[in-house]
Amino acid sequence: MDNIASSGAYHSGKYRNLLAEYGYDGKEIADRLALGWEQLFGDREETRIYYPTGEDMGYMLDTGNLDVRTEGMSYGMMMAVQLDRRDVFDRLWKWTYKHMYMDEGENAGYFAWSCEPDGTKRSHGPAPDGEEYFALALFFASHRWGDGAPPLDYGAKARELLSACVHKGEDGIGHPMWNRHNKLIKFVPNCEYTDPSYHLPHFYELFALWANEEDRVFWTEAAAASRKYLKLACHPKTGLAPEYAYYDGMPNDERGYGHFFSDSYRVAANVGLDAEWFGATEWMREEARRIQQFFSDKHPEDYRRYTISGDPFEEKSLHPVGLIATNAMASLANPEGEFARACVELFWNTPVRKGDRRYYDNCLYLFAMLALSGSFRIWHPKS
């Protein structure tokens, strides 16, 4: 276990309720978390993104693009297992496994990243950010509730998926989701560049415990590689990361995604949760401070696309509420930081988003509520 830091909730079993530490009332925090779930998963048309269908299924709708994405489905499953909603978890997983799972072709073993709400595949390609969230949500479900009959044999499905992510292509068919040499996650399996916001070393630490035994060293190495990589990809002054980047950390702007924009917002949240679970390093504390300082003099209505060095474009942010949420979540890496409380206060005073673009913002919003209230937890196997 030397790969895992000696601090953080993994070792202590204690999760910081940073909202309470900052003086927010305990009942209000609990009420806000419950409200967030109800707003996303209830029947309020102006905020909901979850839609039950049939007798035992449901999906998360990307309300801006009117499709169902592995990103949203895996996020919904993680929210459901954190809040002990097995009914919703199973509906989402059944829909995912029926409509998104690919059992033939070069991507067999992966999930189609985009489907119509009726289940028709819009793409036969996968997106690794969905797969890594599926895997950990399934492990947590197995540990919290126990496994059921297929496809609700959560732990087995998680191990099968992670095995495909590592070993796909060894028979000459398809491609792995991680580069097996440098241990870095790819943007999509058949490319050789990455997305910094996909890097979840805190997930890989847990995969190293629960994946197939033959792959556990790989996941230990992947955790170390991703932590090292994030230091390269995040700008040393602003803390901003590009949406797409090469393996050396340099922005990849071949398709116009070499700047700080929607995907990039998740980096701050990921650093915060990694710090909460496995302990903050000095770099994590500095990364949180830098990005929070960068936005300290900017108003949400004027958030924009930026170069990673901080130069603004005319283009406004598509998801300002999501950016507020992720900057607040970064406070877990540096709770005593100069800008940490202000970022959390801004988040606390910001409601969930309404309207067509609400899906991505509100997913990040509920993750921040879970994390900042000490409710985004590691679920271990029952002894």
Active site residues: 71, 263
Beta bridge partners of 106: none
DSSP H helices in 180-332: 201-210, 216-233, 266-278, 282-295, 320-329
Q: Coil, strand, or helix at residue 49?
A: coil
- 67-102 per-residue burial string, b: 16 or more CB within 10 A, e: under 16: bbbbbbbbbbbbbbbbbebeebbbbbbbbbbebbeb
Where in the chain does DSSP place strands (E)?
A: 50-53, 57-60, 68-69, 114-115, 304-306, 312-316
**162 phi/psi in degrees, rounded to 5:** -65, -35
Question: How many residues does the structure list for the chain?
Answer: 383
Side-chain half-sphere of 329: how many Cα atoms within 13 Å? 28
Using CB atoms within 10 Å of the CB of residue 315, give its burial: 0 to 12 exposed, 13 to 18 middle, 19+ buried: exposed
Residue with tokens 């390609």: 125
Q: What is the token pair recorded at 86?
A: 């097995």
